[in-house]
Amino acid sequence: MSPAIRMMSMALFIQIFTFFLFTATVSSSPPGGFTVDLFQRRSNSSSSRISNTQPGSSPYADTLFDSSEYFMKLQIGTPPVQIEAILDTGSSRIWTNCLPCGNCFKQSGLVFDPSKSSTYKEKICDGSPCQPYVMPETTIGCSHNSSVVFRTAASGIVGLNWGSSSLVSQMGEDMLGLMSYCFSGEGTSKLNFGSNAIVSGDGTVAANMFRKKEDPNMYYLNLDAVSVGETRIETLGTPFQALDGNMIIDSGTTYTYLPESYCDKVRTAVEKVVKAEREASPDNRLCYKTNNMDIFPVIKMHFQGGADLVLDKYNTYMMYGEVTCLMILCDPGTPILGNRAQNNFLVGYDPSSLLVSFKPTNCSALWS
């Protein structure tokens, strides 16, 4: 989950809303699978669903993109109320603001009012995760008092990790835990489940997935090295070295975070290549007074299992007018592979095989 979400403090009650609705395309081959649309948010305009040729359909929800996060549109309750929640592989629960809301963050659209839903039932979990429910009954958290701060106008979170109350877990065994997405900063993207989520074909590489006892709900990868141009910086011999997972992959965090001692080595390698004037950054990012992306080195990330990800300049650098900054940040917290580094990869999660697959893809054109 994003750093802002990690600092969250809230009173969270678990509710059941029958008919958790989402628009999707259904696969006719077993195990059943479906795909939901991902849209880029455009101000003062509404997004429309993409037509498709796959047979069948299921209840509906769209998802969309703003400047830093990816949202799924959900309809909850009866009559249905639409919310927009962040897709988060680093979260265990599905939750949203609910009335009465004594201290809640600002959001776009209506706040859900349980008293107006005929299918609302309260379920108190005494601080423990509630048992999952098979669709269409879905366990959703109802926040009446929270201090979470989002940089976006999200209504809540759609948890997608291994937690028992996440959306993936509540889908049940038919989907086999299979999930994939293809994030794009423009146009239409997709989120897939079940048989539709299998990632294969030319260019596909796979990284070993780990589940750690001390943090069992997160999807862990093991980063072996980072290459900056022709310079390869190994984790071997550093405190970051591991064999059983040393960073999480998180769709709900924008940037990529590395531990400070190792991150400094990566930054130093970038500094040796880039010949431009430095720009001061309040959050200690590595920034330069230039908008010429050609002077920046290509960065590769090497994961255990043989996945060597060649990252596009968009994945690793961001321009702010005449200034360009490295989007790999140094942080003492848990190392994270964020969603910007995952852009234009078809990313597939296969818990049964303990693999995360990456396929370089023009995500905005994949299903257009």
By annotation, the residues acting in catalysis are: 88, 250
What are the distances in angstroms from CA 295 to CA 266, 275, 292, 300, 325?
Answer: 16, 7, 6, 16, 12
Q: Which residue has the tokens 């023009």?
A: 362
Please give the Cα distance from 210 to 213 (Å, whole number). Answer: 10
Please give the Cα distance from 6 to 239 (Å, whole number). Answer: 23
69-103 residues labelled b (16+ CB within 10 A) or e (exposed) = bbbbbbbbbeebbebbbbbbbbbbbbbbbbeebee
Question: What 3 state SS string does 6-74 have?
Answer: HCCCEEEEEEEECCCECCEEECCCCCCCEEEEEEECCCCCCCCCCCCCCCCCECCCCEEECCCCEEEEE
